[in-house]
Each structure stands twice: as structure tokens, then as C-alpha cells.
Amino acid sequence: MSKKSIKNELPENYEELKKAANRTGSWRTRLSAVEELGNYNTSQVIDILKVRLTHDPVFQIQEEAFRALLELGENVELPKRKKFELVKGANKVFVRVKKSLPKDHNFDEYLTKLKRMRIDVYDAYEGEKGLDWLEEEWKNLK
């Protein structure tokens, strides 16, 4: 396995990657940005990776930031995976969305409304738990 080439400069698309790493509506975009940022050893990049490590609700992104930071020589620890509420108040959001829809709504309608009302909550749970988990939650909401 070859070691990747680490550059001691900011990437040309730094501002774009910085925005992508902090995009609350797309865990996939954040993951991709973190992966790319891991190739650059600058204080600005390390700061972004540390924020993703400690504050991202999707554990896969925390893991990628952790791995990248270790490769950049940083002394960091991987946070414990959150078992319950990924986003504070998410359970209330789920209930509020369901109650805002007609009684006979379906799961797709629920997801559409959740995305419209709270893309950050949708994104965190879709990325961490998956759509099957969200559907089970929806079925069990009162």
C-alpha cells in the first residue's frame, strides 16, 4: 500500500472545500471534502478536520477526519459514536413533521417535508442511521 502524498499548502479549491466540509444538508459532500482536505497539511485544514471530528453528527465523517488528522501527525482521539439523539431536539422535529401532514400521508411525503423543514436533521439521520431506520421511526411516531 503506497502512502499518499501530503502537501504543505492550501488546495487551490480551499474555499469550495471549506464550504463543502460544513454543508449541513449533505453528509456525502462533507465526507468527500474531508477526504480531499486530508491531503493538505495546513493549520486551516487541520482546524476544519478537527471541527468535523468533534461536531459532525455522522460517525463515518468523524472517522475520516480522525484518520486524516492522524496521518497529518495530529494527536487526536476518535469520539464515541452517538447511540441516541444525533441532533439535539430531533425527536421533537420528527413528531412535528408527522403531525403537520395529513393522517393518511406516506413515508415519501414525510421525508419530503422533513427535508424541507430541517435538512440538517434529515441529513444527519440518513447518513448515520439510514432510510430504513427513518422509516421505522416514522411508523412508530404517535
Predicted pLDDT of residue 82: 86
31-75 pLDDT, tens per residue? 999 999 999 999 999 999 999 999 999 999 999 999 999 999 999
Asked if 59 contacts 128 with a C-beta cutoff of 8 angstroms, the reply is yes
110-126 pLDDT, tens per residue? 999 999 999 999 999 99
Strand partners, 7: 40
82 compared with 28, residue with greater pLDDT = 28
Predicted pLDDT of residue 1: 45
Helix (H) or strand (E) holding 97: helix 90-99
Number of H helices, E strands in the chain: 8, 0
Backbone angles phi, psi at 26, to 5 degrees: -150, 100
Region 79-97: what's the mean pLDDT?
92
The domain ranges of the chain are: 14-71, 90-140
Would you say residue 87 has pLDDT above 70? yes
Asked if 74 contacts 37 with a C-beta cutoff of 8 angstroms, the reply is no
3-state helix, strand, coil in the chain (%, to 5): 60, 0, 40
**Chain Cα centroid distance, residue 123:** 7
Predicted pLDDT of residue 3: 54
Residue 14 one-letter amino acid: Y
Q: How far apart are CA 42 and CA 128, in angstroms?
A: 29
What cell numbers appear for 109 in the block? 411525503
Mean pLDDT of the chain: 94
